[in-house]
C-alpha cells in the first residue's frame, strides 16, 4: 500500500516560484506579502488601517456634507401625519405597520383624533394563520415536485415569515377587518416573534412532509387528507392563540371609547369588518383628498422586466383564493410622479425599499453618497439596479411611508419617510431619503389610480407575467 504523505513547503527549495501564475486557480499565498507591502506603502492606506481596524466602518466613512444636506425641511407635505410614531420592535412586521400607518390617517381624519394606532397584532395573528393554510395548500398542490427541487425548497424556506406585501394586507383587511390597538395590543411574542415563528415553521415543515407522503398513497382519500390538513391548521391556531392571545372575532361587535382632538368623549360600537369599511366611506375619502385605500395598487420599478407590464409571483400570498399579489412595472420617474401626486392629495404613500443600503438608522438618513466605501478601499462599486437584483445583492427588505417631498424646479430632491422603529431612530422616528437613493433602492410605491396615466391604469387589466417563487420581486418587506 502506498504510504500517505504531506508535502511541506520549503522556502529555499521553492524560492524561484514567488511570481504568481496568472492561470492558477489557487490563492497565490506567496504574493500576498507583496500585495500588503504595496498597499501599505501609501500613507492614505496606512491611515485607513489605523482607523478601520479599530472603529465601526460606517462611523469612519460617513460623509459630513451629506449629513448636513439631508435636512428635515420639505416644501410639499401632507397636512396631517399620523401619531404616535410606531415601533415594530424585534419583529418583521414593517409592512403591517406601514399599511396601518396609511390606514390610520383616514381614520384619524374621520374621527378627528389627535393620536391613534390600529392593532398591528390583530392582522399579524390572522396573517400567520392564513400563511399556514396557504403553505399547506401549496404543498398539496405541488406533491409531484421533487422534495429537494427549487420550488419545494422555496416554499419550505419560510412558510410563515413576518414579512408581506400590500396586496396581502389588503386581503387580510377584506376578510378580517381592523380594530383599534387598544382592543388588541401587542403581546410579548408580537414584539419578539422569532421564537413563535421557529415553532410554527418546524411544525409546518413536519406537516408538509406528512401531507406529501399521504398524497402519494393509493389508499387515502382526498377527504382524509383534507381532514388531516384541517387538524394541522387547528394546531397552528392553538399555538398562535397561546402566544398572541385570542383576537376579536371579525363579525362580532366591539365597543371602542375614545377622546377626539378637542377632548370630547365618544363611544362607538361596530365590528372589525364594518370598522374597515369606513375607510371607503364618502366622508373618509373626502377627508383624504379623494384617495380610497381599498383602491390603491402597487407600482414597482424592476428594470430586468418590460415596463408597462403587470407582474406577479408564483405562489406568493397569504389568504388562499384571494386576488394575486400584482405589480405594475414602470420606470422610477413615473413612480416618483405618482407619489408626489399622492402627497399633493394629502395622503401618505406606502413604499418598499432595500433599507440596509447606504443608510444610517440613528441619523435617519438614506443617501447614495452617505458612505465612502470606494474611497476607503480603493475599489469601484458600479452595479446597476438590475444587476443588483440579478445577483441577489438587493431586494425589497422594508416597508415605510412617504409623507413629504422637497421639490426644486419641479423635481424631487429629498423625501420625508415615516418609519416604524420608534422615536429613537432618525429624527423623532422620521428619516430623510435622497432622490438618488429612491432611484437606486426604492422598488415599490402604492398609489391611487387617479395619480397615474390612463395608459398605466390599463396595465392592471393585463394577464400578468408570472415570475418564479424565488424571484427577488417575491421578497417580502
Closest CA to 277 of 238, 251, 240: 251
Please state, in angstroms and as integers, the Cα–Cα distance from residue 141 to each residue in 20, 138, 150, 151, 155, following that order.
54, 5, 15, 12, 12
Q: In degrees rounded to 5, what are phi and psi of residue 372?
A: -100, 65
DSSP 122: H
Closest CA to 136 of 51, 214, 248: 214
Grid cell digits, residue 330: 414602470
For the question of residue 337 being annotated catalytic, the response is no
Q: Catalytic: which of 87, 94, 133, 189?
A: 94
Task: Please give the distance of CA 203 from its chain centroid, rounded to a whole number.
Answer: 25
Q: Catalytic: which of 87, 318, 419, 451?
A: 419
The C-alpha atoms of residue 158 and residue 116 are separated, in whole angstroms, by 32
Closest CA to 176 of 279, 320, 272, 280: 272
Q: Taking a C-beta distance cutoff of 8 angstroms, is the pair 295, 448 a contact?
A: yes
Helix, strand, or coil (residue 10): coil
The C-alpha atoms of residue 419 and residue 87 are separated, in whole angstroms, by 8
For the question of residue 45 being annotated catalytic, the response is no
Closest CA to 255 of 274, 237, 238, 241: 274
Q: Catalytic: which of 87, 398, 442, 451?
A: 398
For the question of residue 94 being annotated catalytic, the response is yes
Closest CA to 74 of 398, 404, 377: 404
The C-alpha atoms of residue 93 and residue 306 are separated, in whole angstroms, by 30
CA atoms within 13 A on the CB side of 46: 6
Q: In degrees rounded to 5, what are phi and psi of residue 368?
A: -65, -15
Give catalytic residue positions: 94, 398, 419
Amino acid at each position: 500500500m502506498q504510504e500517505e504523505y504531506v508535502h511541506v513547503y520549503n522556502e529555499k527549495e521553492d524560492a524561484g516560484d514567488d511570481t504568481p501564475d496568472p492561470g492558477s486557480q489557487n490563492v497565490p499565498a506567496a504574493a500576498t506579502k507583496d500585495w500588503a507591502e504595496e498597499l501599505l506603502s501609501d500613507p492614505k492606506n496606512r491611515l485607513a488601517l489605523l482607523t478601520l481596524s479599530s472603529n465601526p466602518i460606517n462611523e469612519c466613512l460617513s460623509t459630513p456634507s451629506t449629513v448636513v444636506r439631508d435636512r428635515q425641511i420639505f416644501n410639499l407635505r401632507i397636512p396631517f401625519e399620523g401619531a404616535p410614531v410606531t415601533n415594530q420592535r424585534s419583529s418583521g412586521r414593517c409592512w403591517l405597520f406601514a399599511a396601518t400607518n396609511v390606514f390610520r390617517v383616514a381614520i384619524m381624519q374621520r374621527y378627528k383624533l389627535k393620536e391613534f394606532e390600529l392593532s398591528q397584532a390583530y392582522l399579524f395573528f390572522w396573517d400567520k394563520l392564513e400563511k399556514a393554510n396557504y403553505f399547506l395548500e401549496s404543498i398539496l398542490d405541488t406533491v409531484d415536485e421533487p422534495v429537494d427541487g427549487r420550488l419545494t425548497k422555496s416554499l419550505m424556506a419560510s412558510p410563515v415569515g413576518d414579512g408581506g406585501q400590500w396586496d396581502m394586507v389588503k386581503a387580510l383587511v377584506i376578510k378580517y377587518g381592523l380594530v383599534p390597538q387598544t382592543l388588541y395590543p401587542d403581546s410579548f411574542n408580537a414584539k419578539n416573534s422569532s421564537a413563535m415563528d421557529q415553532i410554527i415553521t418546524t411544525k409546518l415543515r413536519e406537516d408538509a412532509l406528512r401531507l406529501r407522503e399521504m398524497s402519494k398513497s393509493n389508499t387515502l382519500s382526498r377527504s382524509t387528507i383534507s381532514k388531516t390538513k384541517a387538524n394541522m391548521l387547528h394546531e397552528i391556531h392553538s399555538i398562535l392563540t397561546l402566544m398572541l392571545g385570542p383576537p376579536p372575532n371579525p363579525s362580532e361587535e366591539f365597543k371602542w371609547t375614545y377622546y377626539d382632538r378637542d377632548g370630547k368623549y365618544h363611544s362607538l360600537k361596530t365590528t372589525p369588518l364594518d370598522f374597515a369599511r369606513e375607510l371607503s366611506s364618502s366622508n373618509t375619502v373626502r377627508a383624504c383628498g379623494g384617495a380610497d385605500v381599498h383602491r390603491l395598487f402597487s407600482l414597482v420599478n424592476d428594470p430586468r422586466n418590460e415596463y408597462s407590464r403587470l407582474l406577479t409571483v408564483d405562489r406568493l400570498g397569504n389568504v388562499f383564493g384571494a386576488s394575486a399579489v400584482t405589480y405594475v412595472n414602470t420606470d422610477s420617474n413615473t413612480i416618483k410622479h405618482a407619489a408626489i401626486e399622492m402627497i399633493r392629495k394629502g395622503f401618505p404613500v406606502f413604499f418598499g425599499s432595500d433599507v440596509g443600503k447606504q443608510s444610517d438608522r440613528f441619523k435617519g438618513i438614506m443617501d447614495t453618497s452617505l458612505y465612502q466605501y470606494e474611497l476607503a478601499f480603493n475599489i469601484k462599486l458600479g452595479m446597476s439596479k438590475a444587476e443588483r437584483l440579478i445577483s441577489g445583492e438587493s431586494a425589497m427588505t422594508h416597508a415605510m411611508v412617504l409623507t413629504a417631498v422637497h421639490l426644486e424646479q419641479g423635481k424631487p430632491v429629498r423625501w420625508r419617510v415615516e418609519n416604524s422603529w420608534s422615536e429613537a431612530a432618525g429624527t423623532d422616528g422620521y428619516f430623510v431619503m435622497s432622490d438618488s437613493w429612491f432611484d437606486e433602492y426604492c422598488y415599490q410605491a402604492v398609489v391611487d389610480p387617479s395619480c397615474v396615466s390612463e395608459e398605466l391604469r390599463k396595465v392592471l387589466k393585463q394577464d400578468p407575467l408570472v415570475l418564479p417563487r424565488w424571484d427577488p420581486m417575491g421578497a417580502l418587506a
